[in-house]
Structure 1
Amino acid sequence: MNAPAGTRQPRGLARRAAILDAARRLFARQGFKGASLAAIAQEAGLTDAGLIYHFPTKNDLLLAVIEAGDAEQDQALAPVRARRGLALLRRLAEFGADLEADPVLTALDVTLSAEHLQEDSKVNRYFVQRYERFRALLAGAFEEARAAGDLRADLDPAVEAANMTAVLDGLRLQWLLSDGAVSMAGGMRAYVEGVIARLSPP
């Protein structure tokens, strides 16, 4: 018996969401190569055919997971982008805490970026472009803070942006490997405060 017409779309959306949640968890734990479609279907409580109906290939599913994660990252960055100059940099001190609040997405980012580090693929290009956008956001903030006289005139915005990104990445990896013993939240706050103190005008 077919489901009533009014229930088909919500049910389909719920199943799609369940697949994406299951795939995100398994990709984060096992990597893209280690997580099979059959395991993801089982995790989502669906048959293999039910999963393939929504995502015909594993790559289709991966890209959908990345797009969903990107939307969440944009939401997390919204309070940062809403500020300018030194205020934006000060808000970055809390970004480690933002990442700690979603451990699955944080683990997924680390796992997928490592797996696709050297290959020419959509996933690789996605991470390359996202890093470029993030460094540009930081470099712009350093430049604005310098122009406003809030930071020293001799700072190099590109270098400071790359260093801050590297520290955030390093803290993220250590946080995951230490099962939270190394604090992203505390480490990022201390780093940003140190950068502002170092670059503040005499």
Structure 2
Amino acid sequence: MTTATASPAPGTRQPRGRARRAAVLEAARRLFAKQGFKGASLAAIAQEAGLTDAGLLYHFPTKSDLLLAVIAEGDREQDEALEKVREAQGLPLLERMAEFGADLEADPILTALDVTLSAENLAADSEINRYFVDRYQRFRDMLTTAFEEARRAGDLIGDFDPAVEAANMTAVLDGLRLQWLLSDGAVSMADGMRAYVGGVIARLAPRA
């Protein structure tokens, strides 16, 4: 049995085509993050990328195609950031979460894009809504497993619910992310996550 191979995206066979496509994705990421999907027009994105409208449409025939490509690229980068966390398990993974706020601060445009798109698609039954619902579920599942493993290892003790702790940690990270954006960085995600994760571990760790 042969496996079908997906055709390359339009314009990606030559270095110039790849560079133009990358420029469109970067411009779309910036404008979607600032103005949202509905507010950012294809014409404005083309101008930002230094292309004609026709040049943009050659790479991305519809605005939805462009949005999905931006999300896929962002997802790849988020996965790279999460790999730093997934290398650990149990308590070491939770301890590594203390630095996840700093990871998000390092890419402000992607962080803003996530907040903008998730807010725009909060109640919509759409592919974007399902994307964020699934990603949040995977993130909570990862943290829930880490709390369970830490308890089995005896690193954390007490009558706590791993799923509740995972949801709370996710909520704190989300809240800090929003405050960081609205305060133009005055509220630190990095400091906030370090303090929160340290407090959770201190609360649940065995007493010396």
Query: Pairwise CA RMSD of aligned residues?
Result: 1.0
**Residue of structure 1 equivalent to 2:63:** 58
2:48 counterpart of 1:43: yes
**Residue of structure 1 equivalent to 2:195:** 190
Q: Is the 8 A contact 1:147 1:153 kept in 2?
A: no
Match of 2:108 among 92, 103, 111: 103
Look up the equivalent residue of 2:29 and give its one-letter code: R
Match of 2:21 among 16, 21, 45: 16
Matches within 5 A, 1:1-202: 9-202=14-207
SS at match of 1:162: helix
CA apart distance, 1:154: 1.6
Look up the equivalent residue of 1:64 and give its one-letter code: A
CA apart distance, 1:175: 0.1
Give the total of aligned pairs.
196
TM-score (norm 1): 0.96
Q: How far apart in 1 are the matches of 2:22 and 2:127?
A: 22
CA apart distance, 1:195: 0.2
CA apart distance, 1:8: 6.2
Question: Between Structure 1 and Structure 2, which shows a larger proportion of helix residues?
Answer: 1
Q: How far apart in 2 are the matches of 1:124 and 1:201?
A: 40
Q: How far apart in 2 are the matches of 1:180 and 1:152?
A: 35
CA apart distance, 1:201: 2.0
Q: How far apart in 2 are the matches of 1:130 and 1:20?
A: 21
Q: Which runs of 5+ in 2 are unaligned?
A: 1-11
CA apart distance, 1:20: 0.1
The 4+ residue runs of structure 1 with deviation greater than 4 A are none
Q: How far apart in 1 are the matches of 2:74 and 2:203?
A: 34
